[in-house]
Structure 1
Amino acid sequence: MSVNIHVIGWQEFELMLQSPDFISNLENNVYIIRGLFNKELIDEIKDSCLSFSSKTADSWYPCIDDCPDYHRLHNNFPGAYVKAIQHAYYFHPWNDNDALFDSFKKIFSLKLALSEQKQNIQNYMSNIPSDGPIARIVVHQYPRGGGGQEEHIDPVSPYARVQTIIQASVPGDDFMQGGLYLIDPVHGRIELDRLTSKGDLIVLSPGVRHGVAPVDPESTFNWQETDGRWIIMPIIINSDVSNDGYGKPVGLGGL
């Protein structure tokens, strides 16, 4: 069965969420919710990331209590869950990020509503890693000149049953080639970024094979350039303090 792409508004999407078959049908349906987030908000977050990375060295920290916010340059690490070339930023609710997390409450509420373990994760927005699953906001920049991510499927857990990706770039302006694609069992590769605009939300199943094709591969690669493909992902993950048997991409946090 081929994948259906729905380009809709938030109110129509909310009606679809009421179907008891929403999750079971997600393998064959991808939703692009048009203009859900203000473009100015998206640009403010990107500017904050650039300011943050200009003041702190790239690094990595395990997801344990008192884990700081950090950013990391991924360059096809041999041990990575999914090899990628990207500049990734990781933000946590216990680090005075109230305004940032408040901006995406709608997405976190969506994930909670679809969770199979509502009682176990109902406090995830205030959890610290030793409490259990936690909220995290991940921002990725895929630089022009070959930024991308190999084809993969994401880990699925009872509290992470949908993948939510916020488009933070303008395809055709910030980058011309490459970007997010999924594999349709009938039609093969489907390029999704070209169907989106800055501020749109993409909702898809973590179990659908997808990747990020090299972004403007003929351009000169430079980690210092600020264009390319940007996305924002509000996610719920298990911490590195306790292992509930559900994996997560080590140091990646998904797409």
Structure 2
Amino acid sequence: MNGIQDGVAVVTGAGSGIGRQTAIRFAEEGASVVVADVDEEGGDETVGTIRDEGGEATFVRTDVTDGDDVDAMVQTALDEYGGLDFAHNNAGIADEGTRLAEYDESEWDRMIDINLKGVWRCLKAEIPEMIEQGGGAIVNTSSVAGVSANGSAHYAASKHGVIGLTRRATVDYADDGIRFNAVCPGVIDTPMVQQASEDNTEEMEQITASIPAGRLGTPEDIASTVVWLCSDDSSYVMGQPIVIDGGLLAQ
């Protein structure tokens, strides 16, 4: 893909699901990848898959609620590969499906700290390095819950907030040559969704039947969009929440 070859990417939440597939896709397109996750076993598996296919990847354990971890993630890209061109700030947690008044403050704080403040911490570490080298591209993971009333209140608030960060960053740093966009996945066949499906098969069948595409999304569906958004092929796409949901919100 135009502009990805020989670049350097960091991907958070890359130990499984969407993050793993994005890391693999970056490597397939010729980028060196820093695989970041709190899950060391999953992160090592992602690196192994990339290396087995002849790609370049390094794992670094990263908790996005820890600013020092996030700084170390970016420093790993600089130390191992000499720069930072692309970032997919993807790490996040799912909601519990509860109503606004039915969860306590600690649950709210955890959701915001990981899903929203975690993205902010990553941006804060990534942006100065991209400014230093003259530009780059960053994609943040939001959700269909970031552009609709899907999901519980704290999850929806966190994902709406990611879009707000993405848009503000676009305005703040366009002159520095950095592009920002967000992906808004629908129901994607990831380990989290697979667990939910096992817990409530009938509900998941109903959800799948409600999707115009007739299937759940795949991590590859999201990964291909993320890498495209980082490529030169999307050079005029800036500050956009890109919905990838099989037509779910079109109804």
| TM-score after normalising by structure 1 | 0.27
Instruction: Return the structure number with greater helix share.
Output: 2
**TM-score, reference length from structure 2:** 0.27
Which structure has more relative contact order (CA 8 Å, sep 6+)? It is: 1
Q: Please state which structure has a larger fraction of its residues in strand.
A: 1
